[in-house]
Amino acid sequence: MATPAVMLQGTGSNVGKSLIVAGLCRLFARRGLTVRPFKAQNMSNNAAAVAGGEIGRAQALQARAARAEPTVHMNPVLLKPESDRGAQLIVQGRRHGHLDARDFTGRRKALMPFVLGSFAKVCEGADLVIVEGAGSPAEINLRAGDIANMGFATEAGVPVVLVGDIDRGGVIASLVGTHAVLDEADRAMVRGFLVNKFRGDPALFAAGMTAIAERTGWQPLGLLPWLPEASRLPAEDALDLTGTGRKPGDTFIVAAPVLPRIANFDDLDPLRLEEGVSLVLVPPGRPIPSDADLIVLPGSKATIADLAHLRDEGWDIDILAHVRRGRPVVGLCGGYQMLGRTIADPEGIEGAAGIVPGLGLLDIDTILTGDKAVQPVEAVHAGTGYAVTAYEIHLGRSEGPDCVRAPFRVAGEREGAMSPDGLVMGTYLHGMFAADDFRRAFLAQASGGTFRASLAYERSIEEALDRLAAHVGRHMDVDALLAIAKERGGGQARDL
């Protein structure tokens, strides 16, 4: 008997599929179902380290919402962009080299067995699997060999619900238009539709919901209002980050330059959400604020190229001036590598083989190698003894005299580096600011003892997921959605 499953596809990217899936996972988990998330193919530099490798951060959040242990099978194909035309290919958690955009169309067919195999693993022992598509099935030029949307849905026999975003306008055209361009077989996979991110009186769009249903024959499953609290959850795309910038009354300013290949930017979320902290994401063309209390250099999927961009923007001058004023800088992963004396790429992993000078703020040298470290870690902050649950996802190793003052210990070994005056710190540990005790101690030290952090970060994520589940439950016909999912299970699923 097939496991009941339903797939949420979108009329485009960023329509809110990831958070709706997370909300549904938490809702059904609270009803006592064993629910699992799945996304065949994701494209994101925001990844999570799980047992056996890495997956998209959104799928890790969805697993958390489902109260399930995240696995590499929940996102078997992950594309991590390294340039406008190429990406690192991750298959079932492990790096499978570089992939040019032009080559991917031809290679997708070979990835389908991995996708279907992982889906079968996710289905084992589950009462319900909620699948997220990628992009839009309306991109019919990409239909041949598709593994992310209708290609997967038809192969796995998973019925589809289409999600439209009314906030960007044209939602009737996008839903009805998708119906128009799909071929008959793909169109038959769609059972219903949702309209997301509505603002105002829902009664004003009742006729719109009817118009979509009449023109498509699809069942309307809900009109979901805009949920401001969703911004408290980790974003999948750096462009999705909200709540950044100066806020009136804030007393501590954190600045982070937005690099072209910024990665694992959810490292910044605990700072963004901390009461009294303003997180300023510095876009190209703007200087790093001279009054920033702390500069954080985030992770990067293309360290050498992003370092060149940083210099082109003049941010290196801003960072050096910041340190001369006696203010701290933290580098995370790729940002850590940039802080050193040199970055060597002898194998040409990021482009042409060679060596480039770093910012020279840490006495370390980095060598990029093909071996990729991907692992959850338990660390201890050397200065306070506080425990930090974190993870590593990086290529290369960094060594030098400043590693003697490593800020962390992992399994008794030094991790990271610190300058002699303590102003500049670098680490490969992602997620360290999520540890409340460490973050409070760090911000107190960085502010000279004037700032007192109060956020309970992990609790705030759980509360946000609960609110998201309640929101979805109020505004969506979840019983109708479950009935659609049961179609794949032959009408059989554990009663709610």
Residue 28 CA to residue 81 CA, distance in Å, equals: 33
The full 3-state SS of 53-70, as one line of letters, equals EEEEHHHHHHHHHCCCCC
Look at the block and give the residue holding tokens 């988990």.
Answer: 29
Look at the block and give the residue holding tokens 């795309």.
Answer: 237
Residue 49 CA to residue 57 CA, distance in Å, equals: 9
Structure tokens at 222: 């809900």
**How many CA atoms, within 13 angstroms, populate the side-chain half-sphere of residue 349?**
23
Tell me how far the alpha carbon of residue 21 is from its chain's centroid: 14
Number of H helices and E strands in the chain, helices first, is 14, 26
Amino acid identity at 274 = E
Amino acid identity at 81 = P
Burial of 454 per CB tally in 10 Å (0-12, 13-18, 19+): exposed
Amino acid identity at 136 = S
| Per-residue buried b or exposed e for 183-210, using 16+ beta carbons within 10 Å of the residue's own CB | eeebbebbbbbbbbbbeeeeeebeebbe
The residues annotated as belonging to the active site are 333, 430
Q: Rounded to 5 degrees, what angle do the CA atoms 353, 359, 365 make?
A: 55
Look at the block and give the residue holding tokens 């439950």.
Answer: 473
User: Which residues lie below 8 Å from residue 338, measured CB to CB, with a gap of 6+?
Assistant: 297, 300, 303, 306, 307, 310, 331, 358, 359
Residue 147 CA to residue 493 CA, distance in Å, equals: 26
Cite the DSSP H helix spans in 235-359.
269-273, 303-312, 315-324, 334-338
First-to-final CA distance of the chain: 18
| Kind of pairing between the strands at 408-410 and 277-282 | unpaired
What stretches of 303-386 adopt beta strand conformation (E)? Answer: 329-332, 342-345, 354-357, 365-381
Concatenated DSSP letters for 79-109?
EEESSSSEEEEEETTEEEEEEEHHHHHHHHH
DSSP SS3 for 153: helix
Look at the block and give the residue holding tokens 């997956």.
Answer: 55
